[in-house]
Structure 1
Amino acid sequence: MNIHSKTAVSHDHGVSLAEASRVWARVALLSFGGPAGQIAVMHRIIVDEKKWVPESRFLHALNYCMLLPGPEAQQLATYIGWLMHRTLGGIVAGGLFILPGVVSIMALSVIYALWGNVAIVAALFFGLKAAVLAIVVEAVVRIGKRGLKSPVMRTLAAASFVAIFFFAVPFPIIILAAALLGYFGAARGHAAFAAVGHGAAHEDGESLLGNEMPAHARPSAKRALHVSLSWLALWLVPVAGILLIAGSENVFSQIAVFFSKMAVVTFGGAYAVLAYVAQQAVETYHWLKPAEMLDGLGMAETTPGPLIMVLQFVGFMAAFRSPGDLPPLLAGALGGLLATWVTFAPCFLWIFLGAPYIETVRQNKAFSGALAAITAAVVGVILNLAIWFAIHTIFRKTVAVEGYGLSFDAPVLSSADFWSLALSVAAASAIFRFSIGVLKTLAGSCVAGMGLFLLDAI
């Protein structure tokens, strides 16, 4: 099949950039719960409610984003924003996606640096986690129903879950194995791989964008060179300037270089790299204490935006404690923003450079089969995240299980937190049984958490 046979068209989907911006802001404000919850929120709003893109196109873009280093949900927003409104649309969608997290983490970092782990804030997080858990579970159900359309795909999802949860198989290996299986399965004509990831005709017809390729999505060497030079300069010129002015031992130089490296190697999302970041931040650079790293992770888990936003907290605390000639809070703010910049600038590069080429292979059976298999594997990975989050939300203690190839954290049943369990069940009932919106469920859980704190129940 000629992968370039689909004619490029100029889309008139009728959605203005201003209207899209309002929708992306709404997606961002509801993007709690790590990648699972964020993808679920985006899918519900962009595919089901607004019908901007068909199911097949959403999954195709998601599959590509799962292959990239960095936060896949933010990159998915950038991809769809670019698809609808060119580069500016991608910048708006991707930028708005992280803005609530930037503001939230910055405010909480200031509070933390000045007063420590404030009890009332911890109580708010306590209630919020229960709702986030329900959102993550909903994501598994929603994406699983859409992406697992054959026994082969359900088996692949189950195998991926077992591999990553029980045996700690690295995420890139799982994705590579799934991609190879899907590629050769589709190339040999197995219907199970060809069927997944391709929306039904009526489904595509209902969406605004459909399956045609917009004119701006056509790849070219000239465009690729322009995108590469522009975004590499935006990313690396500030890093080089800081190194030249401040020297390699300065804390801002260390932040710029370290988190630039992380932006390139964070395959598998935040969970896959946080252990290494924590080790380096605590043991090598001495920016944080172990408990403080966990506090930062708690902030990122319970505020909107990608979980990798915890890196902003790390950058803030690093510069706050080594401010040089700057006021500590100013240094901390600059350190946090610098960590955020070098973390997310490459994300726009990966999308704007690679998305046009990914668009051209949507009608190629072998490549689509590879991406379809990745969809199934991703469902298993998201289930892993859901269970990981549930264990750490409901149980106060876990025990490491090692041996015979096994490597996972098992909950200590006697450490179950009654109120966490009760709030989680209530939030799940609100979403699944009574169809109460995500925002109302989040707000109700926050109020419940603070109410329990005032009653001295937690």
Structure 2
Amino acid sequence: MQNSSEVHGITFSQALRVWVRVALLSFGGPAGQIGVMHRILVEEKRWVGEARFLHALNYCMLLPGPEAQQLAVYLGWLLHKTRGGLVAGTLFVLPGFLSILALSYLYVLVGDLAVIAGLFFGLKAAVLAIVIQAVIRIGRRSLSSAASVWLAAAAFVAIFFYDVPFPIIILVAAAVGFLGTRAGLAWFRPGKGHGENGKGALAEADSALGEGTPAHARPSLSWSMKVASIFLLLWLAPVLWLNIQWGESNVFSQISVFFSQLAVLTFGGAYAVLAYVAQEAVQHHGWLAPGEMLDGLGMAETTPGPLIQVVQFVGFLAANRNAGTMDPLLAGLLGAILTTWVTFVPCFLWIFLGAPFIESLRENRALSGGLSAITAAVTGVILNLSIWFALHLVFTSVRPWSGMGISLDLPVWSSLDSAALVLVLCAVGLVFRLKAGMFTTLAFCSLAGVIWKAVVIGL
């Protein structure tokens, strides 16, 4: 078989340097990370064409797990086969893993100090503003037709008012988009993104990969079965061993099962799944408090890598606080490693197993319509998440309410945290009014939180 670099002229060492660069610049959540890859791979290096990049992105939005990391695996695989995908996906996660691990130790060891408490108090406000900004950015990209607007609205109503499971929302949106596009309805004409068909768009013929499909990217049943077997074993063998060896009640067994289920049943990246993670980790397992989930998201926002890496913080705290006879700090380390393993190993499986078949369907308009509809539905889900964050940040207490089939968490108005509200308004002003960057917003809010907790309250 012809070497991949002989087809497009890109050596593996060249790609390796680019993936290191992408990993170190992967701040700002999915929107920022996808933007970094687009800028480097499409605009600067001209390795991948516009349409191919968007096709890969829409497929990754369909999958459970972090779409930005899966996009890196997909593009790395397109360029240099399996080893290209493994390197691209692993490097994308590694800097964030090491950073959050260090912050988790700091959180456990000195998190009770006023300075640390103030730091995370400020980070929460900045994170909320960034989440709101993500809703707007993704909405501008995905809500380009009447159908997409209605799909986003329906997704928000379904998850916010009726607690419809996210996988059902995604599947319904995909079916509606597929059927509507196949029927040729005007409402379902695909929108434009990243300048598609506009100025600066890179045609496939002008990219290093070109219009054709590389030989290694063509569907092969034997290769797919081999990859599926290897990655299923890597993923599930530790889960089975832990449950057999230590039983279902052990914290490591619970971590392995819960986050393995998360890898299969949750879609749309970190913003879309954090509400579910928080609910299960806080209410069902009792691993951490509601406010600590926002602390973890603040860590993920300030470090490179996918935002779903916040689950590593959850796994660290869960094992640290339920260590039994094991040293709590060692248990936390093992919990973080285990959580990361069962969260990200399946991502490689989804890409290596499905990408060859998705590549062969790049010209299928109905499939593209279904994939685009998923992006629209995710926008509504992220809006739900921003409201959930706001409630738990600005109010220290909420109360459940249900009636007429609707289920909601309503704020207890007497529990309003005025300092948190002021800080949120400042963060929103910085992001939307002054157009401040992510680091400026995070730094300002962190400093304000430290001053509030350590100076004002401490007086």
TM-score, structure 2 normalization: 0.81
Match of 2:187 among 189, 192, 214: 192
* Equivalent residues of 1:79, 1:351 under 8 A apart: yes
Tell me the residue number matched to 2:237. 237
Q: Which amino acid aligns with 2:235?
A: W
Structure 1 segment 45-444 matched on structure 2, within 5 A: 45-48=36-39, 51=42, 56-114=51-109, 117-196=112-191, 199-200=196-197, 202=199, 203-205=201-203, 212-242=212-242, 251-267=251-267, 269-282=273-286, 288=287, 292-294=288-290, 296-304=292-300, 305-306=305-306, 308-320=308-320, 323=323, 326-412=326-412, 415-444=415-444
Between 142-151 and 202-211, the greater mean CA deviation after superposition: 202-211
* Equivalent residues of 1:431, 1:441 under 8 A apart: yes
Structure 1 pair 145/360, CA: closer, same or farther in 2 (3 Å)?
same
Between 200-209 and 225-234, the greater mean CA deviation after superposition: 200-209
Q: How far apart in 1 are the matches of 2:97 and 2:375?
A: 29
Between 224-233 and 114-123, the greater mean CA deviation after superposition: 114-123
Q: How far apart in 2 are the matches of 1:266 and 1:157?
A: 17
* Equivalent residues of 2:167, 2:266 under 8 A apart: no
Tell me the residue number matched to 2:33. 42
How many Å apart are 1:141 and its aligned residue? 2.0
Structure 1 pair 212/294, CA: closer, same or farther in 2 (3 Å)?
farther
How many Å apart are 1:224 and its aligned residue? 0.7
Q: Which amino acid aligns with 1:281?
A: H
* Equivalent residues of 2:114, 2:450 under 8 A apart: no
Structure 1 pair 354/277, CA: closer, same or farther in 2 (3 Å)?
farther
Structure 1 pair 448/229, CA: closer, same or farther in 2 (3 Å)?
same
Structure 1 pair 379/331, CA: closer, same or farther in 2 (3 Å)?
closer
Q: Matched residue of 1:407: which SS?
A: strand
Q: Which amino acid aligns with 2:228?
A: S
Structure 1 pair 376/99, CA: closer, same or farther in 2 (3 Å)?
same
Stretches of structure 2 lacking an aligned partner (at least 5 in a row)? 1-5
Tell me the residue number matched to 2:3. none
Q: Matched residue of 2:402: which SS?
A: strand
Q: How far apart in 1 are the matches of 2:297 and 2:266?
A: 17
Q: How far apart in 2 are the matches of 1:252 and 1:136?
A: 31
* Equivalent residues of 2:114, 2:454 under 8 A apart: no
Q: How many residues align?
A: 435
Stretches of structure 1 lacking an aligned partner (at least 5 in a row)? 1-8, 32-37, 283-287
Q: Which amino acid aligns with 2:141?
A: R
Q: How far apart in 1 are the matches of 2:306 and 2:373?
A: 24
Q: What is the CA deviation profile of residues 94-129 of structure 1, one whole-angstrom value per residue up to 9, with x for unaligned ones?
A: 333433443344334434544564432221112222
Q: How far apart in 2 are the matches of 1:133 and 1:80?
A: 31
Q: Which amino acid aligns with 1:446?
A: S
Q: Which amino acid aligns with 1:271?
A: A
Between 322-331 and 216-225, the greater mean CA deviation after superposition: 322-331
TM-score, structure 1 normalization: 0.81
* Equivalent residues of 1:60, 1:197 under 8 A apart: no
Q: What is the CA deviation profile of residues 310-367 of structure 1, one whole-angstrom value per residue up to 9, with x for unaligned ones?
A: 5434443454456566533223312331232122211211122112222222210111
Q: Which amino acid aligns with 1:186?
A: T
Between 200-209 and 422-431, the greater mean CA deviation after superposition: 200-209
Q: How far apart in 2 are the matches of 1:396 and 1:248?
A: 33
* Equivalent residues of 2:163, 2:407 under 8 A apart: yes
Q: Is 2:2 the partner of 1:11?
A: no
Structure 1 pair 396/100, CA: closer, same or farther in 2 (3 Å)?
farther
Structure 1 pair 157/316, CA: closer, same or farther in 2 (3 Å)?
closer
Q: How far apart in 2 are the matches of 1:149 and 1:454?
A: 47
Structure 1 pair 63/410, CA: closer, same or farther in 2 (3 Å)?
farther
What root-mean-square deviation, in Å, do the aligned CA atoms of Structure 1 and Structure 2 show? 3.3
